[in-house]
Chain A
């Protein structure tokens, strides 16, 4: 799923490891999200949205829109 996760992370100067810790997931999970190898669950997508204080659809493209 296309997303702006890497852009948002880099804007804040965070490493994948740091973002993973903030979200409660592994660095591998962050990398898989950024490289579109993993579609997040609704729960994880909302956690990411809360962390970056943005709506989910500003971070993840809605493939059905």
Chain B
């Protein structure tokens, strides 16, 4: 087991708040340092890895999908799960009740389903836990 492990609780839905960007940056930096990371996605944050997200063109600016190069949070989560496949390990758990409420079941590979009990276990097993709440 890695000596250093960080748990994050995320609550913001994608494309709503700079909190999501900062959270993804924190996860990236931790993995780059070889630190294991647990993510417990709660409430709207369960939509961050939603597979149905689609990059779009911008008709106001007249740009195409390719020109717009719109980033999706599902792509970020997928990339992070690929980096954190083993050592360091990224464990991403979506709150099952939050998923059901939102119909957010179609998520990228590697995302697990769990409950707040998993968050409690993650927090107990981590060096530290950071809760990033909605404003």
Q: Do A and B belong to a common assembly?
A: no
Residues of B in contact with A (beta carbons under 8 Å apart): none
Interface residues in chain A, defined as those with a beta carbon under 8 Å from any beta carbon in chain B: none
